[in-house]
Amino acid sequence: MNILISNDDGIDSPGIFALATELKKIANVTVVAPESQQSAMGHALTINKPLRLHRFDRAGELFGYAVDGTPADCVKIALSHVLDVRPDLVVTGINHGRNTAVNILYSGTVSGATEGMLTGIPSIAVSHDSHSYDRDMTTAAKYARIIAAKLHASGLGKGRLLNVNVPDLPESHIKGIRTVRQGGSIWEDSFEKRVDPFGHDYYWFSGRYSHIDEDPYSDDQALKDGYVTITPLRFELTDTELMDNIQSFMDF
């Protein structure tokens, strides 16, 4: 099996290192990831400057390739210019912080996996429920390996995307894997107004995640309850019910 790995926290993040180390147990792994932090970039593409790709080493050995672009850029350039063989899976992460509910729309980790899905490659986005770079990613990486192996063996076909979130718990405290829907939790947006040393105003995002969806089969609640969550995603955005209603009052 051949797996392409990317992320949005950058190629030097602990999460992607843990993921690559674990997936190498079951596959040939190629890492192509942003050279710097790209969180909350969504599915942005770089179109106003050239992209640069360079080798990235860890402990004196090739770890992967760094791109000065977004997660979606990384997957695109990997498929078109880095890989000689089309991968069997695209796996992104391990993201530092959950990607549930509305966060899915903003996540560069999910968008990197989405890029794989859009090209017909089964893809998985993996996130861990802690933003700390000091947290142990071993358990999250183990679940990523298990889910990747099962998805590959399942024969579900091309164009599948699984969004996986792992609790910030010891492995012995995790209750299992639960397949859930995208929850309805939201951000209450706010920005702190500050002044730079030159007297100019600037604004710093300081929103609060709230209105947590408490349905046990929503992603946030199941994660809180101690489950590894899997949410199958698709990007057919048409509101078919509204489409029919609009047509009814647009007819002459």
Helix (H/G/I), strand (E/B), else coil: 188: strand
The string of DSSP codes covering 141-184 is HHHHHHHHHHHHHHT--SS-EEEEEE-SS-GGG--EEEE-B---
- Mean pLDDT check: name the lowest of 93-97, 152-156, 166-170, 230-234: 152-156
* Angle ∠(129,65,63) on CA atoms, nearest 5: 70
Q: Please give the tally of structural domains in the chain.
A: 1
Write down the pLDDT at residue 178: 97
CA 178, CA 232: separation in Å to the nearest integer? 11
Q: Is residue 59 part of a domain?
A: yes
Write down the pLDDT at residue 105: 93
- Mean pLDDT check: name the lowest of 19-28, 49-58, 169-178, 185-194: 185-194
Write down the pLDDT at residue 212: 78
113-130 mean pLDDT: 96
Contact 67, 36 (CB under 8 A): no
Is this model's pTM higher than 0.95 or not? Answer: no
Nearest to 117, CA basis, from 15, 33, 236: 236
Write down the pLDDT at residue 123: 97
Q: Is residue 98 part of a domain?
A: yes
Percent of the chain topping pLDDT 70: 99
Q: Is residue 207 part of a domain?
A: no
Per DSSP, 131 falls in state -
Q: Retrieve residue 199's tokens.
A: 């007297």
Q: Is residue 97 part of a domain?
A: yes
Q: Give pLDDT tens digits for 1-55.
A: 999 999 999 999 999 999 999 999 999 999 999 999 999 889 999 999 999 999 9
Q: Is the pLDDT of residue 203 over 80?
A: yes
**Rg, the chain, Cα only:** 19
Mode of pairing for the β-strands spanning 208-210 and 227-233: unpaired
Q: Is residue 221 part of a domain?
A: yes
Instruction: List the domain range (segments joined by +) for residue 69.
Output: 2-183+214-250
Q: What is the separation, in whole angstroms, between the first and last Cα of the chain?
A: 57
Q: Retrieve residue 171's tokens.
A: 């492995």
Q: For tokens 């030159």, what's the residue?
A: 198
Q: Give pLDDT tens digits for 67-115.
A: 999 999 999 999 999 999 999 999 999 999 999 999 999 999 999 999 9
Q: Is residue 194 part of a domain?
A: no
User: Which sign, positive or negative, has the C-alpha torsion 218, 221, 225, 228?
Assistant: positive
Mode of pairing for the β-strands spanning 176-179 and 89-96: unpaired
Write down the pLDDT at residue 40: 86
**Helix 14-23 with 138-154: angle, nearest 10 deg:** 50
Query: 44: domain CATH number?
Result: 3.40.1210.10
Q: Is residue 192 part of a domain?
A: no
Q: Is residue 200 part of a domain?
A: no
